[in-house]
Amino acid sequence: MHIYINTYGTYIHIKDQVFEFKIPTGDGQTIKKYFAPQKITGIVITNGSAISTDAIVLAVKHQIDILVMDELGRPIGRFWHSRIGSTTKIRKHQLALTFSPHGTEFIKQWLTRKLKNQYDFLQRLKKNRPNKVEFIDNQANQIKALRDKIRNIDDTRPIDTIADTLRGLEGTAGRIYFQTLSQLLTKQYQFSGRSMRPAKDQFNAFLNYAYGVLYSRVEKALMIAGLDPYVGIMHRDDYNLKSLVLDFIEPYRIWADETVFKLFSAKKINNSHTDKITGGFSLNKEGKQLLLQALTKFIDEDKINYKAKRRTRSDILLLEAIQFAMQVLNRPVPDDFDITII
């Protein structure tokens, strides 16, 4: 299980070789919860919490990822067991992708999948919106046309020669996509495009936090696969930027989009889930809990058909990260390639 710490003042330490979580209730009392390390795969800590060095050591021994997130849900640091890491060989191969047509092929694949996911999601939204079918079809077909343009770009050229064109096509599709989602929401929650730091509306506040959670999931999958999350293909060269995460995340953003949109369309979100801050909105404790519950269920519990098996999305993410690592190293990926998660 993944454990998200979202209560200010929570303290994590070790008692009898299990994790003890001391959680303040707000009335001067403390609730204690205990978890065996064998039951935990990750611990996510937001600001205002504390963890003992003994708890960190026990987590490292049991290969438990400890992720620290800021108040906006962005990963800012982590404790990671030393057995996982990138090798010099794979870093060299990753760097070579920025100057090779193979890097262009990967970027085209990821962006094409992203736009296909957007198109497919809009098509599914027509089911219960008969009065919006024509509008959705028009918007979705524009995204499909942009996807085809990306697919038809010459992939024999290095990525830096066509990166601006790809960003332009992707950006145009994104504006159409989010404009469509906005129009399908109740008027109270409609928004004018994407906004960050801060979010100018409640929808973007939820989406930004969901993307932050997804970034950490993608980074972890890449690191388990042996890849360096800082060595990207299209996103690269900026100091301390996890460039490969920004490249690789594109096909999976739909998981955050779909989770957040369904919460709004099902009227599970109200004004009590966000706080007004200077220039916009931020999720409060209740909003984060609501989103994390829905996103965790969607990614870690719900199963979908994938290569003739029923799998969780988190399993699919890890499998595809490992397959990508094999491709980076120019190793063939067998048709029956699989992973075992224990």
DSSP state of 16: T
pLDDT of 11 above 90: yes
User: Three-state SS string across 84-146, please?
Assistant: CCCCHHHHHHHHHHCCCHHHHHHHHHHHHHHHHHHHHHHHHHCCCCHHHHHHHHHHHHHHHHH
Q: Where is the domain boundary, 48, 79, 110?
A: 79
140 and 176 inside one domain: yes
3-state SS, residue 64: coil
132 and 25 inside one domain: no
The encoded tokens of residue 230 equal 């800082």
Q: Are 30 and 21 in contact (CB under 8 A)?
A: no
Tallying the residues shown for the chain, one arrives at: 342
Location of structure tokens 């998660």 = 341
pLDDT of 233 reads: 93
pLDDT of 337 reads: 65
177 and 214 inside one domain: yes
59 and 96 inside one domain: no
75 and 119 inside one domain: no
Looking at the 3D structure of the chain, how many domains does it have?
A: 2
Give the domain extent around 127: 88-328
How high does pLDDT run on average in the chain? 89
Whether 341 is covered by a domain: the verdict is: no
pLDDT of 342 reads: 29
Which DSSP string corresponds to 192-261? SS---SSBSSHHHHHHHHHHHHHHHHHHHHHHHTT--TT--SSS--STT--HHHHHHTGGGHHHHHHHHH
149 and 289 inside one domain: yes
Q: What is the mean pLDDT of residues 204-233?
A: 89
pLDDT digits over 277-293, tens only? Answer: 999 999 999 999 999 99
Q: Where is the domain boundary, 79, 114, 140?
A: 79
48 and 119 inside one domain: no
Backbone Cα Rg of the chain: 21
Whether 336 is covered by a domain: the verdict is: no
Q: Are 313 and 302 in contact (CB under 8 A)?
A: yes
Give me the helix-helix angle, 253-265 and 202-224, nearest 10°: 150
pLDDT of 228 reads: 86
In sequence order, what are the residues at sequence separation of 6 or more whose Cβ sits closer than 8 angstroms to the Cβ of residue 270?
Answer: none
Highest mean pLDDT among 53-62, 83-92, 117-126, 224-233: 117-126
pLDDT digits over 223-268, tens only? Answer: 767 788 999 999 866 666 889 999 999 999 999 999 999 999 999 9
252 and 229 inside one domain: yes
DSSP state of 152: T
pLDDT of 82 reads: 57
Whether 95 is covered by a domain: the verdict is: yes
Q: What is the mean pLDDT of residues 281-308?
A: 94
pLDDT digits over 24-39, tens only? Answer: 988 889 999 999 999 8
| Bridge partners for 22 per DSSP | 11, 32
Whether 333 is covered by a domain: the verdict is: no
Which DSSP string corresponds to 40-55? -SEEEEETT-EE-HHH
pLDDT of 18 above 90: yes
CATH of the domain at 119: 1.20.120.920
Q: Where is the domain boundary, 14, 49, 79?
A: 79
275 and 311 inside one domain: yes
Q: What is the mean pLDDT of residues 270-275?
A: 94
71 and 103 inside one domain: no
Which DSSP string corresponds to 250-284? GGGHHHHHHHHHHHHHTT---GGGEEEETTEEEE-
pLDDT of 134 above 70: yes
Q: What percent of the chain has pLDDT over 90?
A: 64
Whether 220 is covered by a domain: the verdict is: yes
Whether 73 is covered by a domain: the verdict is: yes
Whether 342 is covered by a domain: the verdict is: no
pTM over 0.85: no
61 and 124 inside one domain: no
Location of structure tokens 């509306």 = 201
Q: How far is CA 58 from CA 1, 35, 65, 75, 96, in A?
A: 16, 12, 11, 21, 38
CATH of the domain at 57: 3.100.10.20
Q: How far is CA 329 from CA 91, 236, 317, in A?
A: 10, 19, 19
pLDDT of 74 reads: 64
Q: Are 247 and 234 in contact (CB under 8 A)?
A: yes
Whether 161 is covered by a domain: the verdict is: yes
279 and 213 inside one domain: yes
pLDDT of 215 reads: 92
